[in-house]
Amino acid sequence: MFNKINSTLLLFSICFLSCKEAKKENTIQNQEIEISLKKSYNGDFLIGTALNTGQIKEVDAKQTTLITKEFNAITPENDLKWEQIHPEKDTYNFEVSDAYVAFGKKNNMHVVGHTLLWHSQLAPWVNEIKNKDTLVNQITKHINTIAGRYKGKIDSWDVVNEALNEDGTPRESIFYKLFGDESYLELAFKLAAKAAPDAELVYNDYNLWKPAKREGVIRVVKNLQAKGIKIDGVGMQAHWSIEGPSIEDIENSIIAYSDLGVKVMFTELDVTALPNPWELDGAAVEQSYERYEGDPKMDPYVDGLTEEAKQKIAKRYEDIFNLFLKHKDKISRVTFWGVNDGQSWLNDWPINGRTNYPLLFGRDNKPKEVYNNVIALKNKAK
């Protein structure tokens, strides 16, 4: 009888310890599953990504799971740009944009509208407009219709995109030429504020780390503020490389824009390790260098990054996110321009057909080592 009781107690102890270990293992696994960019940087700034049409339509369940797990802000790559959403004078395509907004709201995400006014990716019919009054009417109709449709649903609008040259002077777009000055920015921000009164309104551009271009942005923001026109933020596109821009230049711009009393957002972050033509300056989509296509010197990592290149990208991202954390009181959002490397526009820009690795997730949608580095930075800061 005594041996029988001992055996039962021994069996119970073994079962108890096994169950305890199993529970501990499940807890660890669950903690690992819960690690994500958005949770790691919760309370610092939003972590966003740009979605293509397939991702908006949820055609790949694995990508949908990745997007909803890692990010709490979304931007459409192309589907709210004029040529897509308003291709003809009296024709609007709302199917994908409606799905985009619904996706964001379903998943409790900050929804960005990109973009209301941009000289590039315009519908062809807009470029045929020859006088200011007609253009004013069409801009008014465009913004009222689109921003009005998503009133209370889109949280932030890139109202005007890329209105400046590299030296900070006004870009001679169709808008500037027909208006004769930069007053089209005033019109756009006024219309957006009325059509979407609860949305934050942003001026978005690339190379805003450059001192001369920085001064141009400061001029634009101060002009709007002086006239009582709502502007809530400056969106710094961040199409950077392992070589530059310098952390100091980026930091100087963060401080300068924040001093204007507006939020700072990094709206299109990616880091390339690929070489680009020496004369390349900026991130204008119309830039192309066909003569370099197929040149192995310009596409050195077809079979994958070398360890040295991986370390350079990792170090670059660490430096960037250390800066973001330093100024988290000024920065409201950091958005990666794409979910994974395969999706990145940098595979085809400025040289078509290259293999690039500028994001935190690989072509298989799995986190790369640099992802772990970015997460670890936040853990070190705690």
Enumerate the domain spans of the chain.
37-381
257 or 348, greater pLDDT: 257
Segment 81-135, tens digit of pLDDT: 999 999 999 999 999 999 999 999 999 999 999 999 999 999 999 999 999 999 9
Q: Give the rounded percent of residues in the chain with a pLDDT score beyond 90.
A: 82
Residues with catalytic roles:
162, 268
Q: What is the pLDDT of residue 280?
A: 53
**Are the C-beta atoms of 159 and 112 separated by less than 8 Å?**
no
Q: What are the pLDDT digits (tens) for 232-275?
A: 999 999 999 999 999 999 999 999 999 999 999 999 999 998 98
The predicted model gives 344-365 an average pLDDT of 94
Q: Is 259 exposed, middle or buried (0-12, 13-18, 19+ CB in 10 A)?
A: exposed
| Per-residue pLDDT at 7 | 52
Q: Which residues contact 337 (CB under 8 A, 6 or more apart)?
A: 50, 77, 237, 238, 239, 268, 269, 270, 344, 345, 359
pLDDT per position as a tens digit, 153-196: 999 999 999 999 999 999 999 999 999 999 999 999 999 999 99
Answer whether residue 203 shows pLDDT above 80.
yes
- Angle made by CA atoms 118, 121, 164, in degrees to the nearest 5: 35
* pLDDT tens digit sequence for 29-50: 444 457 999 999 999 999 999 9
Q: Which residue has the higher pLDDT, 162 or 14?
A: 162
Tell me which H or E stretch contains 333. Answer: strand 331-336
**pLDDT mean across residues, the chain:** 91
AA letter at 260:
L
Q: How many CA atoms lie less than 13 Å away from 235 in the CB half-sphere?
A: 31
Choice between 282 and 36, residue whose per-residue pLDDT is larger: 36
Q: Which is nearest to 111 in space by CA: 62, 63, 56? A: 56
Report which DSSP code applies to 334.
E
Task: Name the percent of the chain lying above pLDDT 70.
Answer: 88
> Does pLDDT of 284 surpass 80?
no
Cα→Cα distances 20→13, 27, 84, 120, Å: 10, 10, 56, 61
Compute the average pLDDT of residues 62-71: 98
Backbone angles phi, psi at 137, to 5 degrees: -60, -40
Over 70: is that where the pLDDT of 70 sits? yes
Q: Flag whether pLDDT at 145 surpasses 60.
A: yes
pLDDT at 212 over 60: yes
CATH 3.40.50.720 fits 37-381, yes or no: no
* 222 pLDDT higher than 80: yes
Task: With a cut of 80, say whether residue 20 has pLDDT above it.
Answer: no
Where does residue 30 rank: exposed (0-12), middle (13-18), buried (19+ CB within 10 A)?
exposed
CA distance 103 to 196: 19
Half-sphere exposure of 212 (CA within 13 A, CB side): 7
pLDDT score for 32: 47
In 3D space, the residue among 312, 179, 157, 313 whose CA is nearest the CA of residue 235 turns out to be 157
In whole angstroms, give the CA distance from residue 209 to residue 258: 13
